[in-house]
A and B are shown apart, each in its own frame.
Chain A
Amino acid sequence: MTKVYVVGVATHEPSSAIRGSRLEEMVYRTARAALDDAGVSRRQIDNVTIAACDEFDGRPISSMLLSGPAGAYLVDEIKVTDDGAMGLCLGLSRIQSGDFDLGLVASWSKTSKTDVESIMNNRAEPFFTRPLGMNMSIANGLFAQAVAEEFGVTEDEATTRVVDAYERASANSRGMNHSVPTTDEVRSSPFEATPLREGHNAPITDGAVCLVLASEQWLHRHPGHEALARVAGVGWATDSYRLDRERLRSMSSARAAWDRALADAGVSGSDLGAVEIDTPTSYHEAAYARTFDIDGAALSPAGSTFAQHPLFCSGLVNAAEAILQAAGRAGPVQKAATRWTAAHSCHGFAQQGNVAMVFEGSHNG
């Protein structure tokens, strides 16, 4: 199988609401920055994989408008709609197929322009769960209940994890630099959906992220270009649509995605120096840390969603952070020994879908 490398990466500066730029401008700037980081021109890329959500973008077939800013003009372009990290999975396969050599993966999220919970309610099937008022908060609450029972996650742990995550995120120069709350502030924040309190949530931001992928053959033909990291393994899986306790506590799609990514890369969790885990809430971190058996220094050194949380593309931002770690370019959040890094993404009601990605760096951290 053709080896695929990341040769360029860029994330847009996040904000709770990017008001000075249209979405097209955000996407263009991020794609441009990733191409510049790779040292290639738009005309050199032979494929673009977009990961975007019509409903969040506010228009049907949003790639009609946004494919151009994403660099997809007179090239092979395709779009997935699950989450940003899924774009990396398909973009990787397209190059591994041998049909393509140099591709851009682009994803974005500007939910400050939309009513997220209305869209999430509209995601629910119309017969049972929608009339019940299902939305993201309630689904996350159900998830938190289930994993609290399954793993024994206490409110104290959820609170401590929030504060720690904000602490890690505060060092990330690519993040929001949120102020770090006290445990009392988290513990006294209002309930949103039992047991979730408002303070357990990672604040949603606007943002965008692009990666440039190259085949080993392309790199061989272009010796002046340096790989940041090899995409060593990916895995993704989707659970049942049901929101019952068994499904929510099983973590089965997360486990399947994680196991496949590690197996493809030929590593174990203990080999990973940094793992950015998608954590819409601190209960998610508690559940995924146990499921992946990742905690301590390797756990989300860049702060994951507590650094920035562009809802649709948080997972691909996590990938960008893991790639920067593997390349030794993570700046203030750089870990010392990081040959192998990983990133995780979750999507859908109560994390119905999960994506795991493993990267191999070439620097001697």
Chain B
Amino acid sequence: MAETVGVISTYQTDYRSQHPDVTFVEQAQQAAVGALHAGNMRPDDVDAVVFSLAPTNFMGVADADRWAIDYIFGAGKPMFRVHTGGATGGSAVHAAYSLVRAGTFRIVMVIGAERIAETPDAQAVLNTIFDLFYERDMPLSTNTSVALQASAYMQRHGITQEDLAQAVVRQRWNALRHPQAHLKGEITVGDVMASPMISYPLKLYDICPRSSGSAAMIVGNVEALDSFQSRPAFLNGIGSVTGTYWVGDRLSPTADIDYAEMSLTDFSGAACFRRADIKDPVKEIQVVELYDPYSLVGYVQLERLGFCPRGKAARLDSEGFWDLDGGQVAVNPSGGTLCSNPIAITGLARCIDAANQVMGTAGGIQVHGVRNALATAVGGISQFHNVTIFGEDHVPDREEV
């Protein structure tokens, strides 16, 4: 029988453009120490480490995870690095979950750090992820590829730029209460509309910042939870899926995946909901932490995950449906990826913000009465998508019932 897995502790540093006061490894150490302190644990309590690190090109040290080993108390322990692009943090949590659930280890630390500002132009690095022969010269970049997606989505559903801007307004407002958030503030739809156009219909404020920071989550089995955490967030479900590399292969009417609508989410969402026994997400999930580096991306995921009908998420936003206070489902109380995007650990941060809500440790952004919280991560131009559900109660496997 598989082990029950729960979150023991979490920690995040502040997310900023740069952390010139510390090196990468010191930054990682801050997260390790923070998570250990939060769990009232010692380094020897951790059996294994999963390092969350996306492309190393941003920082220019190809073995940065191994450089960090001594600083995160990993020397002598089993450790590996997970890397699935923007989805890395979510994948790393899934890997740690599997290691504990399989009974391989009792306690695993998921940890990572990001220093994207070490490169003078992260966009230049990201431009090289596209296919060299056909798609790179379009020219596709992370901005233009999502702009194409947004244009198609808006045309299909009659959504305006002002509709999309609501996500930015809501989340920067939420982020005012999240001490670690990078961008925050009281802004208006007009402010978003007035920000510089980057790639139609995306303006500067529709797009996430480049953030640096570090984060860690410690997960364990029942024995570990008994020792270190009286109110864990149980990892009740995971779902992950990989689609095609080619954006062009997601645009035709007969494509398996609809690029504009991010229908890849259907697969990861269904797998996660099945494992977590979620049948009606709006009724059963109180908090959603979405990987949304662009204003559009949160809305499409809400729709594909079944929180509302297609084309309705932005309209429901205007009715306060996704508000932190008084909404039906609190969407990105942390401010989400629109406010902080340390790529290597963004998915981990989403999981931490969701787990904290279940554990009642979310501080100023705590939502009342959270029984289940969901986190997502997206990588590789929406090629990788994963979903994780944290619950107040453990959901038994079928053979346990």
Residues of A within 8 A of B (CB): 1-2, 48, 54-55, 59-61, 63-65, 67-68, 72-82, 86, 89-90, 92-94, 96-99, 119, 122-127, 235-242, 252-253, 256-257, 260, 348-349, 352-353
Contacts and interface: CB of A to CB of B under 8 A. Distances in A.
Contact of A63 (B25, B53, B65, B84): B84
A240 B69 contact: yes
27 contacts: A48-B242, A55-B62, A59-B128, A59-B129, A73-B243, A74-B256, A76-B271, A77-B240, A79-B82, A79-B84, A80-B80, A81-B53, A81-B80, A81-B82, A82-B80, A82-B81, A92-B102, A93-B98, A97-B97, A98-B101, A98-B397, A125-B25, A126-B61, A127-B23, A237-B79, A256-B76, A349-B63
A237 B77 contact: yes
Contact of A81 (B25, B83, B103, B397): B83
A253 B76 contact: yes
Interface in B41-82: 53-57, 60-63, 65-70, 74-82
Contacts of A1: 102-103
A76 B245 contact: no
B55 A60 contact: yes
B78 A123 contact: no
B328 interface: no
A260 B105 CA distance: 12
Contacts of A240: 69-70, 75-76
A78 B66 contact: no
Contacts of A64: 85, 129, 245, 380-381, 383
Contact of A97 (B25, B98, B267): B98
B356 to A, nearest CB: 24
A74 B267 contact: yes
B91 interface: yes
Given A74-B242, A90-B95, A349-B63, A99 B70 contact: no
B351 interface: no
Contacts of B197: none
Q: Most chain-A CB neighbours within 10 Å: which of B55, B83, B131, B380?
A: B83
Contact of B76 (A235, A237, A242): A237
Nearest to A239: B75
B117 to A, nearest CB: 15
Interface string B372-384: 0000000111011
Given A60-B125, A68-B245, A238-B75, A90 B66 contact: no
7 closest residue pairs by CB, A with B: A96-B102, A123-B63, A60-B55, A77-B242, A97-B101, A98-B2, A61-B85
A83 to B, nearest CB: 9
Contacts of A92: 102
Interface of B: 1-2, 23, 25, 53-57, 60-63, 65-70, 74-85, 91, 94-95, 97-99, 101-104, 125-126, 128-129, 131, 238-245, 256, 267, 271, 275, 379-381, 383-384, 397
Contacts of B242: 48, 63, 67, 72-77
Contacts of B2: 97-99
Nearest to B130: A64
Nearest to B1: A98
A65 B131 contact: yes
Contacts of A236: 78-80
Contacts of B98: 90, 93-94, 96-97, 99
Nearest to A55: B62
A206 to B, nearest CB: 19
A105 to B, nearest CB: 13
Contact of B79 (A2, A74, A122, A238): A238
A350 to B, nearest CB: 11
B61 A123 contact: yes
A125 B240 contact: no
Nearest to A48: B242
A89 to B, nearest CB: 7
Contact of B243 (A74, A90, A256): A74
Nearest to A235: B78
B243 A78 contact: no
Given A61-B379, A90-B80, A241-B70, A78 B56 contact: no
Contacts of A76: 239-242, 271
A312 to B, nearest CB: 12
A64 B239 CA distance: 18
Nearest to A80: B80
A352 B98 CA distance: 24
A48 B101 CA distance: 18
A63 B102 CA distance: 25
Contacts of B54: 61
Given A64-B129, A93-B99, A242 B70 contact: yes
Contact of B67 (A67, A96, A125): A125
Contact of B74 (A72, A94, A238, A348): A238
B214 to A, nearest CB: 17
Query: Which of B2, B53, B66, B271: most chain A Cβ within 10 A?
Result: B66
Contacts of A257: 78
Nearest to B118: A126
A93 B104 CA distance: 7
Contacts of A61: 54-55, 83-85, 129, 379-380
A150 B239 CA distance: 48
B123 to A, nearest CB: 12
A352 to B, nearest CB: 6
Contact of A60 (B128, B239, B383): B128
Contacts of A237: 76-79
A99 B238 contact: yes
